[in-house]
Structure 1
Amino acid sequence: MALRHCLAACALAAALLQPAHAGGGLSLIDAVSRALAENPELALLEQQRRSKAALSREAAQPPPLELGVELENFAGTGGSRALSGADTTLTLSRVLERGDKALRREAVADERRALVRTEADIARLELLARVATRFIHVVRDQRLLEVAEEAVDLAEQTHRQARERVDAGAAPNSEAVRAEIDLANAELELEHAEHELKATRISLASLWGERDPRFSRAVADLEKLPALDAIDPVMAKLKRNPQLRRLMEEQRVADARSRLARSKAFADVRVSGGVRRREASDDTAFVAGITIPLGSTERAQPGREAARAEARAGQHAIEAAERELYAVLYGRYQELQHAQTEFDVLRERILPAAESALSDIRSGYQQGRYSYLELADARRQLITQRRRSIRAAERYHRHLIEIERLTGSAVAVPN
């Protein structure tokens, strides 16, 4: 499957596919290209596909001709001493299959080959989803690092303000101590954010075999959320679910095996023909034979019953999977809507209010109208809401990727 077909099948949060800016960073398309080129699971599935193709060709072959040589009446006594009285028979024989067994075997092999192709497609989509999810984690941690740096800047500003008030005799020394503690905590959180980003960068790069990530940063606009189809069209796409496709392919394999099992009720016939040479009389004659096994219908019955049961079990598995996937997809859609609502409320109402409150309290603190505790609380509130906004955007994209993985198709609507 070409890269563009993979991306079309799994969409992968359309907003993330567009770089936020230039500058040599890693885009999602770059990450996907590298992972598809270097992933060993895909190489394994390709070899399995080739193996199944070879087995399909092998299954279509008829039973081989058999050459037989039979020697009688030799190395005995009297006239049968040595080879003087021997009878030598040379025959060619073949099993003539009845019930289109070769075609049935070939059909089973073909369905298994189709199943491997489906599994390869599923593996590509699963890989794309993993790449996109880890890419989002990197973008999230980049944004959280920026917020941690902002928190340190704010803590440094507050520390300076507190020190100025203490030096001016307008506040006790304990305020400067508290500001120092808050600054140290902000610096620890910044260090933690740096470590988190390093770990997620390595996790992403490992998908194409790099232990030391070579990209400078993941380039995307995490906080640009693509619109989503209404719930009914999304749920209608569930029939394209990759796992359902696999189960349906397995069902077709089971149906083909059932037809092969039914064909075994027709007894195969072995025919042979050849030439017999009698050394004692120096005569030559043709020989022919036919062999028909008895009881083939009864012997094939257990296999037919097992194949029918396997086919029925496959149908039940499809029905059970459809019900479970419906519930999972519905839940994911609701979680995505909640993430959208949370993000919108944070960006439109909570963050502007938190920024305004911090600006007012910082100015009032300098004039002695607010306490240090009120200033510190306003600062923490702003940083907390910024992080919350980033995580809400990340959850939205993760849920969108999972919904597109479940439906096997794009559900985002271009903005």
Structure 2
Amino acid sequence: MFIPISKWAGFTCLILSALSVNAESLTRADALQIALRDNPDLMVARASWQAEKARALQTWALPPPELELEYEGMPGIFKFGQHVQRTVGLSQQVAFPVTWWQRHQAAQHLADAVYLSVYEVTRLNIARDICLAYDRALADQQILHLAEKHVQLSEEFFERAQTRFDAGDIPKLDVMRAEVAFVRLQSKLTVAKNTLSVSRSKINVLLGKLPQVAWVLADSLSYVPASFDLDHLSAEALRLRRDLRATTHTLQSAKARQSAAKLSFLPDVSFHIARQTTLGSTGPLKSWRTGFVFELPLWSMFEQRGKIVETSAQYKKAMAKTEQIKLRVLQEVHTAYIAFQATAQRMTLMQERIRPTAERAYSMARQSYDVGEVSYLDLLDVQRDVIEIGIEYLETLFAYRSAQAKLFHAVGKAPASLNTGNSK
């Protein structure tokens, strides 16, 4: 059983009409703005950064003060009213000021590192993903349109083959081959519809919306030639990459912890202020008492020395991690650059040779058909080649824009300027 293309087209129009009812227009800029506002992953990253900021704020706090209330000279345990002497005191422990400051600096630098390596990196990842998802949906939308045209041409080809077979011009095998090609293209059309639905749902997930929310994609999938210099991109990446900049704060945090560990030999001090009231024969006698308590680092060979060795190892680890991430950044830029160069060459061939040649071939076939030099079946065959090349062009264009977006991401830039001109 064969489904006429008119029914396929009517079904497609019905779907598109249903989607466009109450559907809002969505540009790339709108999608990026909504994603950076509502994406759950970004909310998680923001919460992680805020939690680290709160931990840094806690380092300003001193240990809780202690309030002392003491009764002496009582005839019984709970006979407070018959005491001879009462003492009301307040004590506070204070760390050495420089040690206190270094601990706060370590926590603050760690919070800054989380901001860059978690929150900012997540923002860039979302910007890249929404750009790729938007372009993928645009490409799938145009591929669906070409697939419908392909099915229509295949149906015409099959009908013509059937007519020629009835006239005795071609064997039954040619009709069967045309039938198989037609049914296969109907199957591919169904796949194209499903692929477009998946692409649209992926946009919704990145926007923090339900998968079935309908949008009308307002932008187009355009080709803008661009060229880049690898050395310039590498220098930009070393300056812009958030994860690499975060290692600077991680290194400073480790250095501050190391300094605080070295200062742990300096003792913390506790001061005590108390007011004493002594009941005598001449009446209550009131006096003040002030005291200071210093910690003695008698066991410094264990705890303090262990802290110094530990923080020194952490500092060396942070230095090695910084160099490791630097090399990884350069490698990612180099890989993304090579991938972009390859897709740019493919796009140039498609734009300058393959696509124009196919269009010229179709024009020549059309002229030959008009003067009776080729059959209609030959013309349909050329038209099918043009459509297949059109689908290949869209896939190549998406790969080109995808490679450019990934190159921008490797450098540490948001892919917001994909529609700009050449960049060096």
TM bin, normalised by shorter chain, reads: 0.7 to 0.9
Structure 1 unpaired stretches of 5+ = 1-22
- Aligned residue among 379, 391, 394 for 1:390: 394
Q: Is the 8 A contact 1:99 1:263 kept in 2?
A: no
The Cα shift of 1:193 comes to: 0.4
Alignment map for 1:2-401 (pairs within 5 Å): 25-75=25-75, 84=82, 86-118=84-116, 119-208=118-207, 209-217=209-217, 219-222=219-222, 224-239=223-238, 240-279=240-279, 283-295=285-297, 297-298=300-301, 299-357=303-361, 381-401=385-405
Structure 2 CA distance for aligned equivalents of residues 257 and 162 of structure 1: 82
Read off the aligned partner of 1:256 and give its amino acid letter: A
The Cα shift of 1:393 comes to: 1.3
Which range moved further: 169-178 or 199-208?
Answer: 169-178
Which range moved further: 55-64 or 213-222?
Answer: 55-64
Number of residue pairs matched?
389
Which range moved further: 139-148 or 110-119?
Answer: 110-119
1:50 to 1:174, Cα distance in 2 relative to 1, 3 A: closer
1:33 to 1:371, Cα distance in 2 relative to 1, 3 A: closer
The Cα shift of 1:43 comes to: 3.1
Q: Is the 8 A contact 1:75 1:83 kept in 2?
A: no
Name the SS of the counterpart of 2:129 in structure 1: helix
Structure 1 CA distance for aligned equivalents of residues 297 and 213 of structure 2: 67
1:163 to 1:357, Cα distance in 2 relative to 1, 3 A: farther
Structure 1 CA distance for aligned equivalents of residues 350 and 115 of structure 2: 45
1:324 to 1:160, Cα distance in 2 relative to 1, 3 A: same
The Cα shift of 1:292 comes to: 1.5
Structure 2 CA distance for aligned equivalents of residues 82 and 178 of structure 1: 109
Name the SS of the counterpart of 1:216 in structure 2: strand
Read off the aligned partner of 2:115 and give its amino acid letter: R
Which range moved further: 86-95 or 380-389?
Answer: 380-389
Structure 2 CA distance for aligned equivalents of residues 241 and 97 of structure 1: 37
Structure 2 CA distance for aligned equivalents of residues 76 and 47 of structure 1: 56
TM-score, length basis structure 2: 0.80
The Cα shift of 1:330 comes to: 0.9
Q: Is the 8 A contact 1:32 1:131 kept in 2?
A: yes
Partner of 2:12: none
1:30 to 1:125, Cα distance in 2 relative to 1, 3 A: same
Structure 1 CA distance for aligned equivalents of residues 386 and 91 of structure 2: 88
Provide Cα deviations, 1:203-231, integer angstroms capped at 9, x if missing partner: 11122213223212352224x13413222
Name the SS of the counterpart of 1:227 in structure 2: coil
- Aligned residue among 414, 417, 421 for 1:414: 421
1:380 to 1:252, Cα distance in 2 relative to 1, 3 A: farther
Partner of 1:15: none
Residue identity over aligned pairs, in percent, reads 22
TM-score, length basis structure 1: 0.82
The Cα shift of 1:198 comes to: 0.6
Structure 2 CA distance for aligned equivalents of residues 159 and 367 of structure 1: 21
The Cα shift of 1:153 comes to: 2.6
1:305 to 1:377, Cα distance in 2 relative to 1, 3 A: farther
Provide Cα deviations, 1:49-91, integer angstroms capped at 9, x if missing partner: 44444444442244454321223343469xx998656432222
The Cα shift of 1:316 comes to: 0.5
